[in-house]
Amino acid sequence: MGRCEALLVLGYTYNRKNTSRNNLSRWYCTRYHQGCKAAVITMDDLTVVTHIGTHTHTAPRLICTADQRYHATNVSKMIHVTRKQ
Domain ranges of the chain: 7-77
| 63 vs 66: CA distance, rounded Å | 10
Distance of CA 41 to the CA centre of its chain: 13
pTM of the full structure: 0.69
pLDDT at position 85 is: 45
Give the residue-averaged pLDDT of 14-37: 87
pLDDT at position 82 is: 39
Chain segment 28-83, per-residue pLDDT in tens: 998 899 999 999 999 988 899 999 999 999 888 777 777 777 666 654 444 444 34
Given a contact cutoff of 8 angstroms between Cβ atoms, the answer to whether 63 and 75 are in contact is no
CA angle 81, 72, 19 (to 5 degrees): 145
pLDDT at position 23 is: 86
pLDDT at position 73 is: 62
Domain 7-77 is in which class?
A: mainly beta
